[in-house]
Structure 1
């Protein structure tokens, strides 16, 4: 990992800043899957104590981005085919429930935020940011569903979904425009269905999107891709 990918943290929010930087480095691929996180090295690069790095590692492990081996060494999680299959299946369940509830609960302010996110996706040249905007779009729908337990389940899934999507987008980094167009188009269709109040159409589109993710998964493995 290049030291240039990390910067000195702000003293007033050490733990949050360490978590944010490490999370960003993992999602961007600056810290690769399977790579170990050495506390002493990271503490030196970030200008913080080893305890701050350790605390951040435990938080990222809870999110499913890191895993500890039998010796207590933290590594960036390598998602298996089974991991990804479960992530995609769980996302479908959450998406279908969320969009159906959102048809009667979404506010004008939330609609405006969703429209803004679609616009940002269309203009964003960086694939990692397209991934983050994609997740942010679904965040808004989950908030629009106004169901705290559904939102809590999504928040448990989100970091691992980000990890997989970011990796998948890097595999397809030659098709940035296609990724943007497809993401923006599918989100626009889903927003229009929510606004129409058509619960059946919302379910159809949510399942279609999940099936598209499954197709990408199968294609990646068919073309010799990694377990993403």
Structure 2
């Protein structure tokens, strides 16, 4: 049996990623190696490796000679990301309604049970992402899943911005339970209508919030 070794840099990277997905860092915020090292009690080179890994994964960006920053988005970025999401997820929804196995989707929905309180947005965001990933996977198209993976980092970062839109995590869970019910009903028309409302609601909120933030800076 092979046991994976988790380095200190891996642990720091994982901790930072969780903080980013929990919305602890606003879009555009600096993530300085020195601050990370001090905050987590690790050596600066270790913090630098962790930050660089998050840059490589698309969570952070860094211009030459400057500190890393949390990736930010414009309303146009949001529109484009959701355009691609619709292309992928709508196709997956139709496929699942036709003959897909929803067991994996139902199992992903149970991840919402791990959310202990309404402040645990990190777990809620992970459960949301797991649900949508499971729907795409249920379509049994490796290329569709691969395409969804290419925008997964952007989706997860945008999820962090949805925190104030769902003050009660149970609301988010109930929305996804309704989506699963539509899939189990094998009614593509109903499922697509619910999916369109779900995605449009998130896109509208994100576009307005990001637009307001841009105007205030």
Q: TM-score range by the shorter chain?
A: 0.7 to 0.9
Q: TM-score, normalised by structure 1?
A: 0.75
- Residues of 2 paired with 1:156 and 1:146: CA distance? 17
Is residue 27 of structure 2 the alignment partner of residue 33 of structure 1? yes
Tell me if structure 1 keeps the 8 A contact 2:73–2:210: no
Offset of 1:18 from its aligned partner? Answer: 1.8
- Residues of 1 paired with 2:105 and 2:162: CA distance? 28
- Residues of 2 paired with 1:101 and 1:124: CA distance? 34
- Residues of 1 paired with 2:70 and 2:77: CA distance? 14
- Residues of 2 paired with 1:202 and 1:116: CA distance? 20
Query: Greater CA deviation, 77-86 or 47-56?
Result: 47-56
Q: May I ask how many residue pairs the two structures share in their alignment?
A: 209
- Residues of 1 paired with 2:160 and 2:38: CA distance? 27
- Residues of 2 paired with 1:127 and 1:42: CA distance? 22
Q: 1:120 to 1:17 in 2, by over 3 A?
A: closer
Secondary structure at 2:162 match in 1: helix
Is residue 125 of structure 2 the alignment partner of residue 125 of structure 1? no
| Aligned counterpart, 2:199 | 210
Choose from 163, 168, 188 the match for 2:162: 168
Tell me if structure 1 keeps the 8 A contact 2:179–2:195: yes
Secondary structure at 2:179 match in 1: helix
Is residue 189 of structure 2 the alignment partner of residue 200 of structure 1? yes
- Residues of 1 paired with 2:91 and 2:161: CA distance? 26
Q: 1:187 to 1:13 in 2, by over 3 A?
A: same
| Aligned counterpart, 1:78 | 72
Secondary structure at 1:106 match in 2: coil
- Residues of 2 paired with 1:80 and 1:147: CA distance? 31
Offset of 1:48 from its aligned partner? Answer: 4.0
| Aligned counterpart, 2:101 | 106
Give unmatched runs, 5+ long, in structure 2: none
Is residue 140 of structure 2 the alignment partner of residue 146 of structure 1? yes
Q: 1:52 to 1:152 in 2, by over 3 A?
A: farther
What are the superposed Cα offsets for residues 119-145 of structure 1, whole Å, 9 maximum, x if unpaired?
556x74225132222222112212222
- Residues of 2 paired with 1:147 and 1:213: CA distance? 26
Q: 1:68 to 1:149 in 2, by over 3 A?
A: same
